[in-house]
Amino acid sequence: MKRQGFKKQGFRSFGCFGGFARRAAFGSFGNLWVFETFETSETSETLFHETSETFETLSHETSFFMRALYCLLLTLCLANASFAQGGELRFSLHHEPKTFNPLQAEEDSSDTIVYLTGGVLMRVNRQSQALEPALASSWKISDAGRTITFVLRPNVYFSDGTPFTAEDVAYTVRQLMDPALHSPIADQFRTGSGAVQTKVLAPNRISVTFPAPIVGLDKLFDEVAIMSAHSPRKEMAVLGPFYVADHKPGAYVLLRRNPNYWKKDTAGHALPYLESIRLDIQPNRDAEALRLRRGEIHLINVLDSEYYDRLASIAPGALHDAGPGFDTEQMWFNQVPTASLPAYKLAWFRSTAFRRAISEAINRADMCRVVYNQHAQPAIGPVSPANHFWFNASLHAHPYDTQSALRRLQQEGFRQQGGKLVDREGHAVEFSLLTNAEKKSRVQMAAMIQQDLGKIGVKINLVTLDFPSLIERITQSFNYEAALLGLVNVDLDPNAQMNVWLSSGENHQWNPKQATPATAWEAEIDKLMRTQASTLDANKRKAAFDRVQQIAWEQEPFIYLVHKNALSAISESVVGAQPVVLRPQTYWNVDVLRLKSGTGGH
């Protein structure tokens, strides 16, 4: 799970022999009525009327061939008048990307660039959930799930012209599994001790062997963008549909069409259709929504409910609510032993009773109503009920119950004194809560938590930071007390959450990268996560991960708050968009997206 995420749909063809033009090209060449069956745009209708008189002046002696040719040419003009190939798609990143190295991406902006530029061996179709060939034309899993052998597509080149071979796959796997890199993707491949072995069998064949079986091994490669072993451009040489052409920190990232992209459409035309993508760095969500209204950007991939409702009366055709999503919003306490925290606060944060009490004092239903206008539901745990198979249906949302919260705290030696909650040593219960300033919904949630906990005598000091500064605090300096953020699910399978639940994981956020598990329950989760990742028995996997969810519900290292609906906005000028629940909701099929004529950017 990266900050957490998890489709592909055919597109409507508008070429000469595609769906739009076919009706004219093979209709009655001698009569103009054939064009009246089209769903024409204003532009194409004008073109039709301007040319109809010319067409009718052709004499009856004109050859059938010439009349057919004229009709065919007119058809091409009509199709091209309605839809443009090329053009520039525009949307926003909410913060500066931390890295362009696809193996180190761990936040949304970097993930976006990796998805648009990275080439993978196979791709999970975000709409059908089926695994589809990409750079690997075929693959085979053997040795009880320990080994996967890939057959690579021939004549594929990186964006800089460097040939793609099995050596690049071997190099990427070695880089991925290097402990010094601290790749957030690598944890889901670490199911046993020992080294990962790569064997180049031929320029287009390679096998990768892991020390222990990995269930769903092939799907995990959906997240691994292949890097070049030989290009001097290193990670900037890519195999995806676009490459990074320009980057002005704090302003924009410009992607251009990869001329060497391997994929073609069903008619044999090179993909992608778009010429470029401009990603403006825009942390202000109000400005982003305004720019969508003005037509300055084409989509908002994840739309907060406030802006969804605001845009509903202005551009209803652009809005999409795909229903309950898979992402989570949660808060947690810093339990890192080396953090510069007073010992008494670290003791609070490590107390299960303290965390459970804080959880019970938070009114999640109010959050869904006030912050999300009912476009959300109270969270139960790390898995959304929308994930029907993996969700532990025996669990329920923690109740809002301030009296129960106070009873738990009293059992731990806390008491109320002069309207304040104090611990057994007389320290007032007070802590800071970090969240990212540009995310208005999180700032609102933090304010509501502040108000709710004030009712039991707990004082919260809200601290809002820009996203890069916040990430530095929670991943490097650990200079914080509590944080409120979200995780983005990149797959429905629990293997994608290995980097969150393994105590050694990079995203084991409350106390990451532990040499050995700090608690007995974390040790149990480690064992369960490795069990579910190494058995081929679906029932055993389900039982193991149900228990992980049960422990997370009991211990609450993350205090889960809400599951948001998957809301997005896409301009009606974008052709081929098929919004889905799983990330990236709006541009998962970016290689076949087009822009209507006149909307191709500046």
**pTM recorded for the entire structure:** 0.70
Interval 10-28: pLDDT, tens: 322 323 323 333 223 323 2
Interval 69-128: pLDDT, tens: 444 444 444 444 444 568 999 999 999 999 999 999 988 999 999 999 999 999 999 888
Separation CA 563–CA 270 (nearest Å): 39
- Taking alpha carbons only, the member of 3, 8, 2 closest to residue 580 is 8
Interval 169-192: pLDDT, tens: 999 999 999 999 989 899 889 877
- Maximum alpha-carbon separation in the chain: 106
Choice between 34 and 129, residue whose per-residue pLDDT is larger:
129
- Taking alpha carbons only, the member of 445, 446, 449, 443 closest to residue 466 is 443
Q: Residue 148 in contact with residue 218, Cβ under 8 Å?
A: yes
Q: Residue 55 in contact with residue 32, Cβ under 8 Å?
A: yes
pLDDT of residue 188: 86
pLDDT of residue 430: 98
Instruction: Answer whether residue 340 shows pLDDT above 70.
Output: yes
Instruction: Answer whether residue 361 shows pLDDT above 90.
Output: yes
At 492, the pLDDT band (50, 70, 90 cuts) reads confident
Strand-pair partners of 490: none
| Contacts of the segment 337-340: beta carbons below 8 A, 24+ positions apart | 337/511, 337/518, 338/478, 339/478, 339/479, 339/480, 340/478, 340/479
Separation CA 209–CA 393 (nearest Å): 35
Average pLDDT over residues 341-355: 98
pLDDT of residue 490: 67
pLDDT of residue 4: 36
pLDDT of residue 166: 98
Q: Tokens for 210, please give them.
A: 């892991």
Instruction: Answer whether residue 165 shows pLDDT above 90.
Output: yes
Burial class for 538, CB neighbours closer than 10 Å (0-12, 13-18, 19+): exposed
Choice between 68 and 365, residue whose per-residue pLDDT is larger:
365
pLDDT of residue 70: 47
pLDDT of residue 598: 64
pLDDT of residue 84: 52
Average pLDDT along the chain: 86
Domains of the chain: 19-84 (no CATH), 119-236 (3.90.76.10), 328-564 (3.10.105.10)
Amino acid at 271: L
Interval 429-463: pLDDT, tens: 999 999 999 888 999 999 999 999 999 999 999 99
Separation CA 555–CA 464 (nearest Å): 27
Q: Residue 380 in contact with residue 395, Cβ under 8 Å?
A: yes
Interval 249-282: pLDDT, tens: 999 999 999 999 999 999 999 999 999 999 999 9
Interval 565-584: pLDDT, tens: 999 999 999 999 999 888 89
Separation CA 65–CA 12 (nearest Å): 28
Separation CA 197–CA 210 (nearest Å): 7
Instruction: Answer whether residue 52 shows pLDDT above 60.
Output: no
Q: Give kind and range of the element (H or E) at residue 472.
A: helix 467-472
Average pLDDT over residues 591-600: 82
In percent, the amount of the chain with pLDDT more than 90 equals 71
Lowest-pLDDT choice from 54-58, 307-311, 322-326: 54-58
Choice between 372 and 52, residue whose per-residue pLDDT is larger:
372
Separation CA 495–CA 540 (nearest Å): 14
Distance of CA 185 to CAs 196, 243, 390, 526, Å? 15, 21, 21, 17
Separation CA 573–CA 7 (nearest Å): 21
Choice between 400 and 533, residue whose per-residue pLDDT is larger:
400
Q: Residue 573 in contact with residue 557, Cβ under 8 Å?
A: no
CB neighbour list of residue 568: distance below 8 Å, 6 or more residues apart: 299, 300, 301, 302, 303, 319, 320, 322, 579, 585, 586
Q: Give kind and range of the element (H or E) at residue 254.
A: strand 252-257
Amino acid at 105: A
Strand-pair partners of 255: 244, 277
Interval 366-419: pLDDT, tens: 999 999 999 999 999 999 988 888 999 999 999 999 999 999 999 999 999 999
